[in-house]
A and B are shown apart, each in its own frame.
Chain A
Amino acid sequence: MALKLPIYMDYHATTPCDPRVFEAMRPYFTETFGNAASRNHQFGWEAEEAVENSRKQVADLIGASSKEIVFTSGATESDNLAIKGVADMYFERGDHIITAVTEHKAVLDSCKKLEKRGFKVTYLSVGTDGLIPPDDLRNAITDKTILVTIMMANNEIGVIQPIAEFGKICKERGVLFHTDATQAIGKIPFNVTELNVDLASFSAHKIYGPKGIGGLYVRRKNPRVVLVPMMDGGGHERGMRSGTLNVTGIVGLGKACELAKQEMPAENERVFGLREKLRKGIMDEIPDVYINGHSTERLPGNLNVSFAYVEGESLLMGINDIAVSSGSACTSASLEPSYVLKALGVGEELAHSSIRFGLGRFNTEEEVDYTIGRVNEAVNRLRELSPLWEMVQEGVDLSKVQWAGE
């Protein structure tokens, strides 16, 4: 099969809608278009039936019951609802929240907003592998702690936290446990009972569903979690999220979850194989390439590496027919390199040199071969252009140089 360019290798940012998902959604735009809250005619009943079928598909994927699924516009809303909803409901019990420095901005900024309102937030640091030692969490919990929120799989470095251990600690201490599982649910096994999770955020577009739809798992038993809603209105979703249900999106999310459940074992094996091929193809050929984050405790499709002495954005330009992303400052509006990589203690110069490859369902072996060739060629060319590479070849220790720009 001929290689089609450009190649998409940024599956942590978003994924294409699976054609099977799209087909499942299609009739709900024009034919079965009813409002799921219309209780008195067939249009409404059909929409409601579709929604409840999807709710079951989602619940089945994560070992929950249908009634524990709240549909939202996506994981950012779910994170906001979980964190602020818990804070507003349980503030009389305590004012302390624990999270981690490598969380997504949806979590960090929700926590910061609560800090402004008087809540106290502990930001756990991570090791050089990106993992949080469970004892660090245990030691951070006080009798004022009402919520722990730690992501399962990181969106940049793909590192998978020991969520089951965190869940156990929280349960022992009677603290609610939320996990932003946006990169995990549908990608790796996730069971709310085994993990002792009370709240979990997820999104359809990361798992081959449409954008603009996601959900929040909210535990109903042991303990029963109640949230103060952010959206007031018609009392949809057990009063936790008012607003007419996005039936087409919900159907897509449900179908995406069903496919993920069926295909996860085979797909993970295949994607992991591609990732390892890519990793070896790059690291066996190019010297001074470093993996960011734990080498094995990571998502099967994630490869985040730093190419020393080459700036990330210039490398993206050199492989411009392959869509990937970089932790380089130049790719962000803030001119600051990735805060996740900084948290691992990756030197800023290596953070500027990082590339995130995100492999997924529709990548092929040919695409990986092509990518290896293009990356190797671009890195070699840019190193010939790099004064740092030249200095290192001459035996200069870059850490001892007094840089004019510092």
Chain B
Amino acid sequence: MAYSDKVVDHYNNPRNVGSLDKKDPSVGTGLVGAPECGDVMKLQIRINPETQIIEDAKFKTFGCGSAIASSSLATEWLKGRSVDEALAIKNTSIVKELNLPPVKIHCSVLAEDAIKAAVRDYQQKQSAGEAKAEEVTVNA
């Protein structure tokens, strides 16, 4: 199968590879896929609690070139966006940008899932943090 130039570019020069501290309350982590399926994506975002803007995004992916490219592209798109804008990213936009063939559409779906999972993780941490903060206030 021939890969699009953009997939090859992301594969050769993946953007934002790495990890953020998953214990940091301002970091949301999404881990999606399964090794048996041949794709696992870990996507992390750091959100400024004041502005709700994504200030940093990192990824690591086990998967084919299209999966690596989809998650690399996702981190590029996430930086500087608000949480609501992040949730509005659709897999079809990734398919279009990377010229993914039909058999690789699942890679883009996984990237969208990873974004949603990372945001959900961040939001859960935030509400848990608020609950804790309230608890502290009551006790005082």
Contact (A385, B34) CB under 8 Å given A310-B62, A333-B103, A404-B117: no
Candidate in A313, A318, A403, A404 with the most chain B CB atoms within 10 angstroms: A404
A328 within 8 A of partner (CB): yes
Question: Whose C-beta in chain A lies nearest to the C-beta of B68?
Answer: A314
A349 within 8 A of partner (CB): yes
A330 within 8 A of partner (CB): yes
Question: Whose C-beta in chain A lies nearest to the C-beta of B117?
Answer: A404
Partner of A406, one of B34, B41, B110: B34
The smallest beta-carbon distance between B61 and chain A, in angstroms, is 6
Task: Give the interface segment out of A101-109, A201-209, A386-394.
Answer: A386-394
Q: What residues of A have a CB within 8 angstroms of the CB of B1 in the complex?
A: 331
Please count how many residues in chain A sit with their CB below 8 Å of the partner chain's CB atoms. Answer: 30
Chain B contact patch, size range: 20 to 34
Candidate in A329, A349, A405 with the most chain B CB atoms within 10 angstroms: A405
Partner of A387, one of B40, B103, B110: B40
A404 to B37 CA separation, bound complex (whole angstroms) = 11
**Mask of A312-324 contacts with B, CB within 8 angstroms, 1/0:** 0110011000000
**Which secondary structure dominates where chain B touches chain A?**
mixed
A406 to B40 CA separation, bound complex (whole angstroms) = 11
Contact (A404, B31) CB under 8 Å given A328-B38, A335-B103: yes
A348 touches B36 (CB 8 A): yes
A348 to B36 CA separation, bound complex (whole angstroms) = 5
The smallest beta-carbon distance between A318 and chain B, in angstroms, is 8
A398 touches B14 (CB 8 A): no
A96 to B113 CA separation, bound complex (whole angstroms) = 49
A314 touches B63 (CB 8 A): yes
Q: What residues of A have a CB within 8 angstroms of the CB of B38 in the complex?
A: 311, 328-330, 337, 348-349, 352
Partner of B36, one of A386, A389, A390, A406: A406
B117 touches A347 (CB 8 A): no
A329 to B34 CA separation, bound complex (whole angstroms) = 13
B36 touches A317 (CB 8 A): no
A-B contact pairs, 5 of them (CB 8 A): A311-B64, A349-B35, A386-B61, A404-B117, A406-B36
List 6 tightest A-B contacts by C-beta distance, closest first. Answer: A349-B35, A403-B34, A387-B42, A405-B34, A352-B38, A313-B64
